[in-house]
Amino acid sequence: MSRRSFMKKTAAAIAAAAFPALPFAIAQPRTHRVEISGFKFTPDRLDVSVGDTVTWINRDIAPHTATAAEGGWDTGELVKGAQASITVTADMETSYFCAFHPMMKARLSITASDQ
Ligand SMILES: [Cu+2]
């Protein structure tokens, strides 16, 4: 065994001993992408966790927004090719629509399993 691979194995063994079976999984925040195209949010149902980031990108020529149903958050106007991101919080509104085209509706589904 090379010294390098011995060191690698040793480090792994130390880590395993120092952190035996963590009682919870440490979830890394993820970035989700919602495409706005053809006057639709895709996907229109998105599973997210607290701490994740959701990025909306407008592929249409028409401007759109992603605006919380009760106005709690808003990407503001997104012209063609523009994008905006929102960080998921535990108490944020999950239903949203386009302020310019209120028939465009979508929803986030927040899983708060990691606290
Ligand atoms: Cu719109």
- Whole-number pLDDT of residue 5: 65
CA of 39 from ligand 1 middle (Å) equals 6
Q: What is the mean pLDDT of the chain?
A: 87
Q: Is the dihedral of CA 101, 95, 56, 71 positive or negative?
A: positive
What is this structure's pTM? 0.76
Could you tell me the pLDDT band of residue 94, with boundaries at 50, 70 and 90?
Answer: very high
Distance in Å, CA 45 to ligand 1 centroid: 17
Distance 29 CA to ligand 1 centre (A): 28
Superfamily for 24-111? Cupredoxins -  blue copper proteins (2.60.40.420)
Question: Ligand 1 centre from 98 Cα, in Å?
Answer: 5
pLDDT of the residue at 97: 98
Q: Ligand 1 mean position to 64 CA, how many Å?
A: 4
Q: Ligand 1: distance of its center to the CA of 63 in Å?
A: 6
Rounded to the nearest angstrom, the distance between the alpha carbon of 48 and the centre of ligand 1 is 22
DSSP-assigned letters across all residues of 55-98: EEEE-SSS-B--EETTSS-B---B-TT-EEEEE--TT---EEE-
In the reported structure, the alpha carbon of residue 66 is separated from the centroid of ligand 1 by a whole-number distance in angstroms of 8
Position 115 scores a pLDDT of 46
Pairing relationship of beta strands 95-97 and 67-68 according to DSSP bridges:
antiparallel
Parallel/antiparallel/unpaired status of strands 83-87 and 105-111: unpaired
- The residue ranges of every structural domain in the chain are 24-111
For 64-89, how does the pLDDT look when each residue is reduced to its tens digit (9 = 90+)?
999 999 999 999 999 999 999 999 99
Q: Are 112 and 90 in contact (CB under 8 A)?
A: yes
Q: What is the pLDDT of residues 25-45, one digit of tens each?
A: 667 899 999 999 999 999 999
